[in-house]
Structure 1
């Protein structure tokens, strides 16, 4: 046994005790040769490099759809926003949060999602490759897995979507807040433009003509076009389209007065201080266990229904309701 590593010694000892092998020279020589060969080739592992993300920084993993304009066209997604498509993104994000307790907040809009890991997280030893590959692949597989949950039999998945993934570090709380503000401001700019653009196209303009009509316009100009020409008050456009979707864990009060932790969709302005005051657990990492979040109109939201249904299936006889 001298030439064998500890694991192989234990394996061979177990086989000998069961009489599965005999201690003849051929068997031992074979195992020793394999062990030596493995050791000879293991040097290639020295070429691997573990990129460890700096400690005491917020980790943001952002996924983005690749070639999603084509994907949306092929699947006939509604323009400028398809609520079903956005909720499929949200549902895929819920799966990621359920897998990682270290994620304190997720934010999605259009074909992107940002996942914010606690600044003190040690998940996967903060290895960049592990985090971006796991989050990216989990999100993609969850998107495909839940396609029929959202679209039922009304729309067939023509081909699988692709999402890339990246990791960015933010050393201060203010840096993180500015990042979230940047992404939410992007929603407003893009959605106001797209809402104006696709209404102009629907009115008979070509894509090129609509682009030319909007060239150089300010937000106030686009609001005026929507209101005067299409009788659309932009403030009445669904809030998910205007502000994106924030996902957080919250305790919800059930009909039996018990509490259940759910990942809830929140549609609020993250640029103002009020958001961070209402949700202090994001930055502090601590939440008041006595407080329950009021879902309001979101009690019937697809994300809430999905989680309640899954919870009840796992616990037959102990079903819950809101």
Structure 2
């Protein structure tokens, strides 16, 4: 490209590269979704259509970007995790975030008439999302982040389930229900649900209680008994010197991830077992394709 007197404006561009050899989490949230959910009459406390729509959009994002290792979603938010060896977009925050947010939003709007076929068509202001990228240096940091989001899911869902039961089934207004729940603990909310409305919170759908986790499905392994499998993967992943892979090796792994089946589950991701049985999530290397998936 020829130089011109206007080229000086490039000096205003600032580097936004993320730290190398760290896990990257791009987390997006719905913008103004309280008003949006009211406009389209989302069911309270959970609308299965809305959650399925979020999962469909997230699954499509993961399908288009094989570098995503795992994703976790609840309500109107989703977190996408990139392995620390990822070099996508030269690990530039702006490109990663804008790609995730724009792709997710596009699929959300695209899938809307499928999951909300009995609802009115989308009209401006259209649904949109914002996002941010955060880096985590260790496996433990990453797992603590994922655990934090799932614990948050449980706390919020238990509160919302009780709050809306008091309104929808108990005839209370929002202010009265809020005052009744102020200062209560989990046991108190469970008691209110069961004693007043005959609702056993344990029987609520797993997606409501645990959120949704999306990953590529490979052959699961049995947890090691001699030494925690997660600890072994953590030792490998936390090495100070990142593994250097050839271009052909990277392409081979990318192709393998592209062919793998992407699943949406509602599992406990806080306990070690989830990670022990799926070591590929921490190693960054594709696992073995399950026999039932092989042609």
TM-score normalized with structure 1 length: 0.75
Other-structure match for 1:64: 29
How far 1:47 moved relative to its partner? 1.3
Distance 2:91 2:212 in 1: 26
Counterpart-to-counterpart distance in 1, 2:193 and 2:204: 11
Work out the CA distance in 2 between the residues paired with 1:177 and 1:157: 37
Matches within 5 A, 1:175-214: 175-202=141-168, 203-214=170-181
Q: Distance in 1 between matches of 2:71 and 2:291?
A: 20
Task: Tell me if the contact between 2:217 and 2:289 (Cα under 8 Å) persists in the aligned partners.
Answer: no
* Alpha-carbon shift at residue 287 of structure 1 (Å): 4.0
**Bigger relative contact order (CA 8 A; separation at least 6):** 2
Cα distance in 1 for residues equivalent to 2:175 and 2:270: 34
RMSD: 1.9
Match 1:91 to one of 26, 32, 56: 56
Query: Residues of 2 paired with 1:293 and 1:192: CA distance?
Result: 37
Q: What secondary structure sits across from 1:79 in the alignment?
A: coil
Relative to structure 1, is the Cα distance of residues 85 and 50 closer, same or farther in structure 2, using a 3 angstrom cutoff?
same
Per-residue deviation, 1:293? 8.1
What are the Cα deviations for residues 276-301 of structure 1, in whole angstroms up to 9, with x where unaligned? Answer: 1121111012343153589xxxxxxx
Q: How many residues align?
A: 254
In 2 relative to 1, CA 111–290 (structure 1 residues): closer, same or farther, beyond 3 Å? closer
Deviation of 1:149 (Å): 1.7
- State how far apart, in whole Å, the 1-side matches of 2:267 and 2:279 are: 14
Q: Deviations over 1:65-96 (max 9, x none)?
A: 11111110111000000000011111111121
Distance 1:251 1:158 in 2: 41
Q: Which residue of 2 aligns with 1:279?
A: 278
Q: Distance in 1 between matches of 2:130 and 2:96?
A: 12
Conserved in 1, the CA contact under 8 Å of 2:61 and 2:103? yes
TM-score by length of 2: 0.82
